[in-house]
Amino acid sequence: MKAIPRLLAVWVLLLVAVAALRLLTASHGEMEYLDAIGRTFKAPPYDHVATATALAMLLLGAWLSGRVFKLLHLPRITGYLAFGILIGPSLISVISENTPPLLSMAQIDHLRIFSSLAIALIGMTAGGEIKIDLLRRGLGRVLTITLVEMAFVFVSVLSLLYLGGRHVDFLADLSSRHLLVVSVVVAVISMTNSPAVLVAMLGETRARGPMAETALAVTVCKDLLVVVLFTVASGVGYGMLRAEGGTALNASLFAELAWHLLGSIGVGAALGAVVSTFIDRLGRNTPLFVLGTTLGIVLVSESLHLEPLLVALTAGFMLSNIWPGKSESLFHSIENLSLPVYCVFFAIAGAKIDLNAVLLLWPVALAIVVVRVASIWSGTTLACRITDVPSPARHWLWTALIPQAGVSIALATSVSTLYSEFVWGPYLTSLLLASIALFESFGPILLRFGFIKAGETRG
């Protein structure tokens, strides 16, 4: 505990140094300076300085916050998120509208490539943790838990909004059709949980056992199913609202869905095969190769409209199960790269939390949180009893399905684009982000507690 004041002092000095550097660059951007050998040069553009200092600030500041939270016996991920909230645009706008944030939305957009790289690394890690032997032994168990838990969440959240939506300001005057579409969209997104948080917590706690293995397999299955359900639900819902009595069940929708899923799996499998041919020749260059591979996954996925998480997950699964001996050094390098990646990824996720939306819509967001937690607990507990999951994992598996983060935010952002022409569209996005923000905040803490109670932590 004596280290906390020193860490906080370094943390404050970091923020002061970043603010001073930006003020100096902004006020003296056109001045000429002399370098060490007497040559004159001008200061770089302010946007470049701001983005570069933002990256450095996220790396060091989030790491320091994680250290402080660990000393307080809280998850380091929560520290990363808290740092992002502190320096992000949302908190400062609540306090003072005229004060610029240390991390603006423009800088967050410039740094989105790092979030994409993090998603790819997380996907490869998750894929590497899933073993064919585990699926052979427990595929029926995993599918049962996944489907039962998703059904409980979907029905509960859908019923909450459809039956109680008339008491929410922006839903009160909607027709039954509009209210149904809104309820279905929120219910589908409520079924997601965060592979990023789960993988990060597995690394932090070094959890191993029935709960950790089952949680990871269920999370992967849920990701696949939710992508399908969201694509169909959003497409059908939009079609229902655009045309009286119409639906969006057409060939183009299913073709897009098939390419999004099957194409991602195919590209990921091909990538795994290609990577396996180079592993033996890498030596000390493995970390650079990992970064190049993840960057390639991001760029290829964006250009071909694939799901980067699914591409990376498939590649990691192939490498871990078909070439386990050769790929060991590759996964070791991914583990070594995870700390700075998680610092930037979760700090940016925290900076994206819209506190204004939380303050405006907290009653209904809190209701969604309570219903979702209750339905996850009841659905998972029932499914664990049906499938005879060993104790104590059966009592705490539900905590692994609570956190939400990157995937949920991405789907909420898609909602804002798809339904932007409707008056309730922005409010719906704000509601989704408000509830996700609450799960981001306490989800990692609850997950760590669950691993401890299940007796699976190693650190």
Q: Which helix (H) or strand (E) holds 360?
A: helix 355-387
pLDDT at 248: 45
Rounded-to-integer distance, Cα 416 and Cα 189, Å: 13
Contact assessment for residue 198 and residue 215, using Cβ atoms and an 8 Å cutoff: yes
Mean pLDDT highest for which of 43-52, 149-158, 341-350, 399-408? Answer: 149-158
pLDDT at 423: 77
More confident residue, 189 or 16: 189
For residue 9, pLDDT over 80 is answered with no
Report residue 359's pLDDT band, with 50, 70 and 90 as the boundaries.
confident
Span 209-220, average pLDDT: 86
Q: What band does 155 get if pLDDT is binned at 50, 70 and 90?
A: very high
pLDDT in tens, 112-138: 777 778 878 877 887 777 777 766 777
Q: Which DSSP category does 103 fall into?
A: S
The mean pLDDT of the chain is 79
For 163-172, write each residue's pLDDT tens digit. Answer: 887 777 777 7
**Range(s) for CATH 1.20.1530.20 in the chain?**
113-453
pLDDT of residue 246: 45
Q: Residues 255-277: what's their mean pLDDT?
A: 82
Tell whether the model's pLDDT for residue 262 goes beyond 90.
no
Work out the average pLDDT over 193-208. 82
Contacts with 218 (C-beta within 8 Å, 6 or more apart), sequence order: 142, 145, 146, 149, 397, 400, 401
pLDDT at residue 149 is higher than 90: yes
For residue 257, pLDDT beyond 80: no
pLDDT at 245 over 50: no
Contact yes or no for 41/35 (Cβ under 8 A): yes
**Please, is 132 exposed, middle or buried when counting C-beta atoms within 10 Å of its C-beta (0-12, 13-18, 19+)?**
exposed
Confidence category of residue 250, pLDDT binned at 50, 70, 90: low
Residues 6 or more apart whose CB falls under 8 angstroms from that of 408 comprise: 189, 192, 194, 432, 436, 439
pLDDT of residue 252: 64
CATH number, span 113-453: 1.20.1530.20
**Which one is predicted more confidently, 48 or 449?**
449
| Cα–Cα separations (whole angstroms), residue 236 to 157, 180, 182, 357 | 19, 12, 12, 27
Indicate whether 459 pLDDT > 80.
Answer: no
User: Is a pLDDT exceeding 70 seen at residue 45?
Assistant: no
Q: How far apart are CA 201 and CA 400, in angstroms?
A: 10
Give the angle subtended at the CA of 238 by the CAs of 233 and 242, to the nearest 5°.
Answer: 150
Specify the pLDDT at position 247: 46
Q: Give the C-alpha separation, 308 to 312, whole Å.
A: 6
Q: In this model, does residue 51 exceed pLDDT 70?
A: yes
The predicted-structure confidence for 427-456, as pLDDT tens digits, reads as follows 787 788 788 878 877 888 898 899 898 888
pTM metric for this prediction:
0.74
Which residues 6+ apart lie within 8 Å of 361 measured at CB? 427, 430, 431, 434
Query: What pLDDT, in 10s, does the model give residues 304-344?
Result: 878 787 888 888 888 888 888 778 788 888 877 778 888 88
Burial code of 320-335, b = ≥16 C-beta within 10 A, e = fewer? Answer: bbebeeebeebbebbe
Query: With pLDDT > 70 as the criterion, what percentage of the chain qualifies?
Result: 85
Average pLDDT estimate for 96-116: 78
pLDDT of residue 243: 59
